[in-house]
Structure 1
Amino acid sequence: MLSYDATPFTMGPALLFCPADRPERFSKAADRSDAVILDLEDAVAPADKLKAREAILEQSGTGGLEPGRTIVRVNPVGTPEFELDLEALAKTPYRTVMLAKAESAEQLKALYGYQVIALCETAGGIVNASAIAAEPNVVGLMWGAEDLLASLGGLSSRNDDGGYRAVALHSRSAVLLAAKAAGKEAIDSVYVNIPDLDGLSAESHDAVASGFGAKACIHPNQVAVVRGAYAPTPEVVTQASELLDAAEAAGTGVFQFKGKMIDGPILKHAQATLRRAGHRFQGTDTPRGDS
């Protein structure tokens, strides 16, 4: 039986999908992103599924991609393609999978031995997100807007102004809350309007501010925009450092800093900023300011 590394999923912030039947793109996608998602599901036509699995097998047998930065999206549990995907994956070094259309905790048992990013993109997946996130082999949750609306019989996840419809916003929040309540990572959905980099930037900044640990991309040009949103500016890093230094000096639970009342949650925001900036705290594994 396969074993899996229970280390929390930390790849990010920019995850890039790559069709698994396009092996000539594998290395480029991996080089341009923080982690590549080799897609055996929607990005591959039914007639090309076998070709896609063979491409992953052949590529992994020649040195392959870095397993720690490679995710394979498999077809939904209960489909013949899912079983064939697992047969192929067992012959590779890749042990992080994204389960398409995850709908129940029970489905995760079929993926024992793998670290799983559960893609909640149906009504069932959203409603059961908390139970899915609680499964021990789940390391993260992602939500999918377009498949979700299709499962509801809807027409589009977004309004005419480009913003999400209420049901999509509810689903996005539900997945984020379920993931974080279980101590797992949350990944924001893709932005399908590829030329609209300004819209992607705004949505990525919102993902950062809301608590998503990463955002998925469908085009290499989106990666830099997502990374830019997740990278704090030098000014913001300086402000966070000064705030945490002031908290250490104050030595109290609540204090004033530059005219503002500062307490625990504000300090945690500053700590999150420094973590995103790649800072390392001195002394212990616990960032300054934690009670």
Structure 2
Amino acid sequence: MTTFPMGPALLFCPADRPERFEKAAQRADAVILDLEDAVAFEDKEQARENLAASALDPDRTIVRVNPVHSTSFRADMEALAATGYRYVMAAKAEDPGEIGRALRHVSVIALIETALGVLRAPDIAREKNVDALMWGAEDLLASLGGESSRRADGTYRPVAVQARSTVLLAAGAYGKGAIDSIYGNIEDTAGLEEEARDGAASGFAAKACIHPGQVAAVRAAYAPSEEDKAYARELLEAARGKGGVFSFRGEMIDGPLLRQAEQTLRRAGIAG
């Protein structure tokens, strides 16, 4: 799992709802103040004023701005300049050079949510000012002319699975964090936790939430069980003084498995 300084539960909050800012920040590990899809065009200027007047913790705040090539982008960045926030989520990221130029003074979470963005994910991850990649399922399917990223049983369609994997691999290849897409069914906390657990095990550093009620499920999914922590501790203790491959509980252990055990303890906040 590549590192990212926030998480595991990131909560979107519309920037036109300033009364929710503090509550969102208190309930999640980090808040994403949204100037893009969550705000109607006619409300965007007020949303920018709300952003400029806000004073959340810069280490736990991300601002999602409108796409770099949009007419709203410049105004978004002017509002951002009046704050102490330095983490910017670039919506519909597609052009790595554009991100490098237009957002060179901030730390970027590139939101990959179009077919072109997925194909260019490795080049975007390579940009020096990009700290993380996130993928967006529904915008991606819309860009393909599709109708839904999920089947009736809630599982992703193959094209969404491929995009998710591509973004994760691109982020990992360049040592950047990877953020998993939102889970749209707010009532299905069991399904959310299962998906978040898969994301954590696969290497995603965090998952985005669209409702405060989703935060607990994501945190639970990212927290290793007592059994997992005990196994990791015992495995690393057994590895002391051993070189190369060795046997532990009937399983052959080598370097990658030791690194996985170390990651389990890091997720649990325990020194390996």
For Structure 1 versus Structure 2, the TM-score category normalised by the shorter chain is over 0.9
Distance, in Å, in 2 between the alignment partners of 1:181 and 1:242 is: 30
Instruction: Please tell me whether the aligned partners of residues 229 and 264 of structure 2 are also in contact (alpha carbons under 8 angstroms).
Output: yes
Say if 2:75 is the partner of 1:80: no
**Partner of residue 39 from structure 1, selected from 7, 10, 34:** 34
Paired position in structure 1 for 2:131: 139
* Residue 9 of structure 1, CA deviation: 3.3
Partner of 2:141: 149
- Aligned pair 1:204/2:199, yes or no? no
Equivalent position to 2:218, from 215, 219, 226: 226
1:276 corresponds to = 267
Counterpart position of 1:55: 50
Residue 18 of structure 1 corresponds to 13
With the length of structure 2 as denominator, give the TM-score of the two structures: 0.97
Measured in 2, the distance between the counterparts of 1:23 and 1:9 equals 26
Q: 3-state SS of the aligned residue for 2:32?
A: strand
* Mapped pair 1:242 → 2:234: yes
1:98-153 Cα shifts (integer Å, max 9, x gaps): 00000010121200110000000001110000000000000000000000000000
Query: Residue type matched to 2:263 in 1?
Result: A
1:53 maps to a residue whose letter is R
Shift of 1:236: 1.1
Number of the residue aligned with 1:128: 120
> What percentage of aligned pairs have identical amino acids?
63
* TM-aligned CA deviation for residue 234 of structure 1: 1.7
Match of 2:244 in 1: 253
From 148, 152, 160, the counterpart of 1:168: 160
Larger relative contact order, structure 1 or 2 (CA cutoff 8 Å, min sep 6): 2
Partners in 2 of 1:133 and 1:107 — Cα distance? 13
What displacement does 1:280 show? 2.1
What is aligned with 1:188? 180
CA deviation string 1:157-180 (max 9, x = no partner): 011111100100000000000000
Runs of 4+ in 1 over 2 A off after TM superposition: none
Structure 2 CA distance for aligned equivalents of residues 91 and 155 of structure 1: 39
Cα separation, 2, equivalents of 1:10 and 1:50:
30
How far did 1:12 drift? 0.5
- Aligned residue pairs total 269
1:100 aligns with 2:95: no
**Any stretches of 5+ residues in structure 1 without a counterpart?**
1-7, 282-291
* CA distance in 1 between partners of 2:50 and 2:5 (Å): 26
- The CA distance in 2 between the partners of 1:180 and 1:260, in whole Å, is 27
Q: What letter is aligned with 1:93?
A: G
Structure 2 counterpart of 1:83, which letter? R
2-structure distance, mates of 1:161, 1:222? 19
SS in 2 for 1:15: strand
